[in-house]
Structures are given as structure tokens and as C-alpha cells.
Chain A
Amino acid sequence: AQTVTQSQPEMSVQEAETVTLSCTYDTSESDYYLFWYKQPPSRQMILVIRQEAYKQQNATENRFSVNFQKAAKSFSLKISDSQLGDAAMYFCAYRSDNAGNMLTFGGGTRLMVKP
């Protein structure tokens, strides 16, 4: 079974600075997809960014980018120019095309942004 691990329960960043959230996963598959979701205090789960394992190029969405290291099974999220609205729980997630298309989540990282 696939597992996703986020080793940082909490992170803190100064407004306008850059922060990196870590994620590692365990799988024996070669084709899969990785995601970062944001959960603000409103509870809504919001997709931040998505990466296909077959693509070597790291995904980027505005201030959010990933560092995908397939051999190391690592998928970190970098947030540049952090804003107060970035404060939230961030979840790393894995999805393969097996196991009924289930999305498996890491335990989450709480990001605090200091003004």
C-alpha cells in the first residue's frame, strides 16, 4: 500500500519570505500523480498544485512550485512571497491508477505566516 509522509507538523514563515514543505511517499508503481491541497480554517480542501510522475519538469502555479525527485520519492512544495492568506493546513497526496483511484493523504503540515 502507498504511504505518504509529511515530517513537519508545523512550519512558520515571515510574510513575503519563502517556505518549503516536505513530503515523501512510498510506492512500487511507476505511474502516479502527486498533489498538494490547502485546507484553510474554513475547512474547504483546495487543490494547490498537481504533478504527473512521468514528467520531469516540476509543476508551477504562480507563487507555488514543487521539487519532484522521483528516485528519492520526494515531493516538496515551495511557497514564494508568502502571504497571510497562505496560512493553512497543507496536505500532500498520492493517486495511482490502481487501488480504485484512491487519493492517499499525508498527515498534513500546519503553516503559520507571521506579519
Chain B
Amino acid sequence: DTAVSQTPKYLVTQMGNDKSIKCEQNLGHDTMYWYKQDSKKFLKIMFSYNNKELIINETVPNRFSPKSPDKAHLNLHINSLELGDSAVYFCASSQVAPGRSYTFGSGTRLTVV
């Protein structure tokens, strides 16, 4: 199936731990993104990569580090997890061409306890 796939779908971890979320797309898109959806459902961009190059890095703590080994993969690593990091994290991809919509992964619900 052509899609954006994220793993894991659910992640429960203790404060202070380090965790990673993986994302892969097989749509041939050249741009990938990470969005954070908070408890009030607000969606905010975190990072954007175009052909493995970082394009957008919004005001995100240094504990968050994206890694793109190739244009089909964009992983998110989080160090020293805090309670406030609890949220749903969405990976998405699109073509950089004007007006193209995003295709989203199914999200990863991260709960820090």
C-alpha cells in the first residue's frame, strides 16, 4: 500500500528517557514533516525536510532531533523526555510543487509518565 507509515502508534515512557519515532513514505514525495498535536488538538509544525535537507526548524527544544537518512524516511528522536512532551506526533509528506496537499501518517500518541 502507498502511504505514510509511522511506528510506533502508541508510546508510553517515563520522564528522562530517550525515545524515537520512525516515519517512512513510499509516495515518492520529496518533502517530509513532523507536526505536534497537543491536548487541545492544535497542530503545529516542528520540522520540515526536503531531500534530506532541513528546511524548517520551528522553536522546538534541542532535545528533539530529526534525522533523515534518505528522502523516504524522517525519524524523530527525543532526549530526556518531559511530561509536557506528551502529545500526538504526526509525520507527513508532500511534493514541494505548489499547492500539493500533505499525506499524513496515522500519528504516534506519546505519553510521558
Contacts and interface: CB of A to CB of B under 8 A. Distances in A.
B106 A43 contact: yes
Contacts of A78: none
A102 B56 contact: yes
Contact of B99 (A43, A45, A52): A52
Interface residues on B, range: 20 to 34
Contacts of B88: 43
A105 B43 CA distance: 6
Interface residues on A, range: 20 to 34
B42 A107 contact: yes
Interface string A73-106: 0000000000000000101000101011111110
Contacts, number: 56
Contact of A102 (B45, B90, B99): B45
Contacts of B109: 43
A95 B99 CA distance: 7
29 contacts: A31-B98, A33-B98, A33-B99, A39-B41, A42-B106, A43-B88, A43-B109, A44-B106, A45-B90, A45-B104, A50-B101, A52-B99, A91-B43, A99-B56, A100-B48, A100-B50, A100-B55, A100-B56, A101-B96, A102-B33, A102-B45, A102-B48, A103-B92, A103-B94, A104-B45, A105-B44, A107-B40, A107-B41, A108-B42
Interface of A: 31, 33, 35, 39, 42-45, 47, 50, 52, 89, 91, 95, 97, 99-105, 107-108
